Amino acid sequence: MADTNLADQFSAYSEWRKSLVDSICDYRSWLNEQELNDAQIDQRITNLLERLREDKLNVAFVAEFSRGKSELINAIFFAGYGQRLLPSSAGRTTMCPTELLYDPSKPSALQLLPIETRASDATTTEYKRYPDEWTVVEFDVDSNESMVAAFNHVSKTKTVAVEEAEKLDLFDPNSSDDELSLNKDGTIDIPVWRYAVINFPHPLLEQGLVILDTPGLNAIGTEPELTLNMLPNAHAVLFVLAADTGVTKSEIDVWRQYISGTRWKQKGRLAVLNKIDGLWDTLKSEDEVEKEIAKQVKTTGELLDLDASHIFPTSAQKGLQAKVNGEDELLEKSRLPILEKALSDELIPSKKEIVRDNTKNEIEDLINNSKMILDSRVGGVTEQLEELSGLRGKNEDVVEHMMNKVKADKENFEKGLQRFQALRSVFSQQTNKLFTLLGMEALKIKVHTTREAMIAANFTKTMRDAMDGFFEELKDRLVSSDEQINEIKKMMDVMYDKFSKEHGLRKSEPPSFSTLRYQKELAKLERAYKEQFNTAFNMLANEKMTLTTKFFETLASRVVHVFEVANRDVENWLKAVIAPMESQVREHQIQLRRRLESIKRIYKATDTLEDRILELENIEKGVRAQIEDLEILHQHMGNALAFEGEEEEKVA
């Protein structure tokens, strides 16, 4: 398969993730062997592993039609097949957004969503939940012909009456551009499919890469899903321009509105100046050609307000040809390798950083929890040992006295336990209060009422008010959630303090949590909505009501997603707050029972003191060995996390 820099970096990244997964699995098996695992810890490990395994990297290609997006995808990712995999030809070729990915649980096939689904308000993401709405075309991954034939479906069109196209929002009688696309007999050609997902086991896709190929620019405006969801969330967007056409006005508009966006989205946004082979000219010196390219890069940079270092002159066609035929000189001349390097540099290190940070925190937390249990076990055993050693040579009275003391400790602790139960119930009341603010139920109701208001609205102002109110309320909910979260944290701080003073439990500081991240996400969506609402409103003037509802559905589904993530994170946080106390309390209880048990046995002379001391010493050795094991496992995980980071530093 293509041995590109991107492929190498990507495999290194996947290897890194895999070694992390392995080290976490080792930790889990050890917990099981040592009987230190419980359902809650196991669930947390499962979530962590799932997140690592499912981790995806999204790369999107956007351009006016015929700039060479599909050719570029073929050249960067699929040259190893020795031919063009995605259809690429003059004129409009890719007719629907096409996602390339690998999901091993599904057969290698092309899934196609019929264009008629545009008549409903449901977004393509929602349709993904209903496989029977999609047409499936299977193919044989070992046969290039079979794959190429299947992939050709993405360029299928059909001829329909104008009314039909209007119904699907694909034709606007007031647009002169649309007027031009009519056939002589008044019919119009429209795409057969609304969306395509190609599932096949290409090595990079297997490792979690997801490639999005899009049709020419006008499709971008008609699927809000693309502008509100897929493009803002892509880890990299390649905006493809062609050296022979220069930058057009509509390209500048799309770049500004959907891709470069505001400053917060500049990362991973690259422009490609494709088809530089058109500038190669045997009558000009290499120097002259070079100057011509540099000039084009400069103008492009000025027009897009983008630094020249983010603009990549390339020839996708020659790059593909060079890779297929093994022509190294031509490959270099195509400058494709430079683009690939930039893509992987933009993509992988920042992605890795995020994954590393998230994983690191979770691992530290789990390890700390295990460590705390083991430490308190050692503490308990040492205490018992001291107690029993103190009994050497003492008479029955002293033993009895000691037994009474332990009994009193136990009773005292049981009172503490009652307090803990009371705390649990306050904790769950507080939690319920938090979820009435943050929970999905409340959100769904708000989405519903806003939707109704949008549908009933006759004026843009009413619509705008409904939308503003929507964001306003959700913001308030997040802010109030923070107050609730602080309450919970304060209460737990006090409890940890009390338990450590009164029962010698280890004082652990509950982690902090804030909804700021989700507030920021929400603000981003609100910004995107404000930036795009005007465009939607122009359509509305043309009675393109359906587009506005589609727009709202897409926005709402993004907001729902933000809240889903917030809910998941808050649930994890709540567990992290209460879990250490729960396991310590449980552990403490067991130890008190054991202490009492062993003194009782000595008192009744069923055990000799020395036997019991020996036994405890062995237990202590065992627990200390466990602590050492844990240290080693911790180190392994730390190494797995740091491995690539160290390499990066070397390169830098």
Ligand X SMILES: Nc1nc2c(ncn2[C@@H]2O[C@H](COP(=O)(O)OP(=O)(O)OP(=O)(O)O)[C@@H](O)[C@H]2O)c(=O)[nH]1
Give the strand pairing for 57-63 and 209-213: parallel
Q: Specify the 3-state DSSP secondary structure of 268.
A: coil
Angle (CA) 392-398-402 rounded to 5° is 95
Q: What is the DSSP string of 202-220?
A: -HHHHTTEEEEE---THHH
Q: Applying CB under 5 A, what is the total number of residues that bind Mg ion?
A: 4
Q: Does the footprint of Mg ion cover residue 66 (CB under 5 A)?
A: no
Q: Identify the residue among 11, 32, 83, 89 touching ligand X (CB under 6 A).
A: 89
* Tokens encoding 194: 């609304």
Q: Does the footprint of ligand X cover residue 519 (CB under 6 A)?
A: no
The stretch near ligand X (CB under 6 A) out of 91-99, 337-345, 378-386, 596-604 is 91-99
Residue closer to ligand X by CB (options 66, 369) is 66
Q: Which helix (H) or strand (E) holds 137?
A: strand 135-138
Contacts of 134 (CB under 8 A, 6+ apart): 111, 112, 113, 127, 197
Residue closer to Mg ion by CB (options 72, 388) is 72
Residue closer to ligand X by CB (options 71, 644) is 71
Question: What is the x/- site pattern for ligand X, positions 34-73, by CB under 6 A?
Answer: -----------------------------x-xxxxxxx--
* Number of residues assigned to the chain: 652
Q: Identify the residue among 70, 207, 260, 370 touching Mg ion (CB under 5 A).
A: 70
Q: Identify the residue among 191, 216, 268, 416 touching ligand X (CB under 6 A).
A: 216
Q: Does the footprint of ligand X cover residue 451 (CB under 6 A)?
A: no
Cβ of residue 99: shortest distance to Mg ion, in angstroms?
13
Q: Does the footprint of ligand X cover residue 98 (CB under 6 A)?
A: no
**Are 202 and 208 within 8 A, CB to CB?**
no
Picked from Mg ion, ligand X, none, the partner binding residue 207 (CB below 5 to 8 A depending on kind) is: none
Task: Report the alpha-carbon distance of residue 60 to residue 270 in Å, rounded.
Answer: 10
Q: Which residues pair with 343 in a beta bridge?
A: none
The stretch near Mg ion (CB under 5 A) out of 87-95, 169-177, 445-453, 484-492 is 87-95
**Are 237 and 206 within 8 A, CB to CB?**
no
Q: Does the footprint of ligand X cover residue 88 (CB under 6 A)?
A: yes
Q: Identify the residue among 74, 94, 334, 376 touching Mg ion (CB under 5 A).
A: 94
Long-range contacts of 602-611 (CB under 8 A, 24+ apart): 602/388, 602/391, 602/399, 603/396, 603/399, 603/400, 603/403, 609/388, 609/391, 609/392
Residue closer to ligand X by CB (options 197, 316) is 316
Closest CA to 170 of 95, 67, 253, 255: 95
Residue closer to ligand X by CB (options 199, 315) is 315
Alpha-carbon distances, residue 168 vs 116, 203, 297 (angstroms)? 7, 37, 39
Q: Applying CB under 6 A, what is the total number of residues that bind ligand X?
A: 23
Q: Does the footprint of Mg ion cover residue 214 (CB under 5 A)?
A: no
Q: Identify the residue among 97, 191, 208, 215 touching ligand X (CB under 6 A).
A: 215
Task: Report the alpha-carbon distance of residue 305 to residue 269 in Å, rounded.
Answer: 12
Sign, CA torsion 226/228/233/238: positive
Q: Does the footprint of ligand X cover residue 191 (CB under 6 A)?
A: no
What CA dihedral angle connects 384, 387, 389 and 391, to 10 degrees?
-140
Task: Report the alpha-carbon distance of residue 47 to residue 388 in Å, rounded.
Answer: 44
Q: Identify the residue among 169, 172, 223, 277 touching ligand X (CB under 6 A).
A: 277
Cβ of residue 304: shortest distance to Mg ion, in angstroms?
21
Picked from ligand X, Mg ion, none, the partner binding residue 123 (CB below 5 to 8 A depending on kind) is: none
Closest CA to 324 of 69, 558, 540, 84: 84
Give the strand pairing for 269-274 and 236-242: parallel
Residue closer to ligand X by CB (options 17, 69) is 69
**Are 646 and 390 within 8 A, CB to CB?**
no
Looking at residues 296 to 335 of the shown chain, list those that interact with ligand X (rule: CB under 6 A): 315-317
Looking at residues 309 to 338 of the shown chain, list those that interact with Mg ion (rule: CB under 5 A): none
* Tokens encoding 173: 């009688």
Cβ of residue 272: shortest distance to ligand X, in angstroms?
10
Cβ of residue 454: shortest distance to Mg ion, in angstroms?
34
Alpha-carbon distances, residue 87 vs 74, 206, 363, 588 (angstroms)? 9, 22, 45, 67
Cβ of residue 313: shortest distance to Mg ion, in angstroms?
20
Residue closer to ligand X by CB (options 317, 484) is 317
Task: Report the alpha-carbon distance of residue 421 to residue 416 in Å, rounded.
Answer: 9
The stretch near ligand X (CB under 6 A) out of 23-31, 117-125, 274-282, 290-298 is 274-282
Residue closer to Mg ion by CB (options 65, 643) is 65
Cβ of residue 151: shortest distance to Mg ion, in angstroms?
11
Question: What is the x/- site pattern for ligand X, positions 341-380, by CB under 6 A?
Answer: ----------------------------------------
Q: Identify the residue among 23, 58, 94, 207 touching ligand X (CB under 6 A).
A: 94
Largest CA distance in the chain: 113
Q: Does the footprint of Mg ion cover residue 74 (CB under 5 A)?
A: no
Cβ of residue 67: shortest distance to Mg ion, in angstroms?
9
Residue closer to ligand X by CB (options 71, 526) is 71
Residue closer to ligand X by CB (options 87, 580) is 87
Residue closer to Mg ion by CB (options 70, 583) is 70
Q: What is the DSSP letter of 313?
A: E
Closest CA to 516 of 568, 475, 575, 577: 475
Cβ of residue 275: shortest distance to Mg ion, in angstroms?
14
Q: Does the footprint of ligand X cover residue 278 (CB under 6 A)?
A: yes
Q: Which helix (H) or strand (E) holds 471?
A: helix 460-503
Residue closer to ligand X by CB (options 70, 484) is 70
Q: Identify the residue among 14, 74, 93, 222 touching Mg ion (CB under 5 A).
A: 93
Task: Report the alpha-carbon distance of residue 146 to residue 153 in Å, rounded.
Answer: 12
Residue closer to Mg ion by CB (options 94, 260) is 94
Q: Identify the residue among 98, 117, 207, 274 touching ligand X (CB under 6 A).
A: 274
* Tokens encoding 199: 């599932």
The stretch near Mg ion (CB under 5 A) out of 69-77, 362-370, 416-424, 550-558 is 69-77
Picked from Mg ion, ligand X, none, the partner binding residue 278 (CB below 5 to 8 A depending on kind) is: ligand X
Residue closer to ligand X by CB (options 195, 552) is 195
Cβ of residue 92: shortest distance to ligand X, in angstroms?
4
- Phi then psi dihedrals of residue 281, to 5 deg: -150, 120
Strand segments, DSSP code E, in 48-88 are 57-63
- Binding site residues, ligand X, CB under 6 A: 63, 65-71, 88-90, 92-94, 215-216, 274-275, 277-278, 315-317
User: Which residues form the interface with Mg ion (CB under 5 A)?
Assistant: 69-70, 93-94
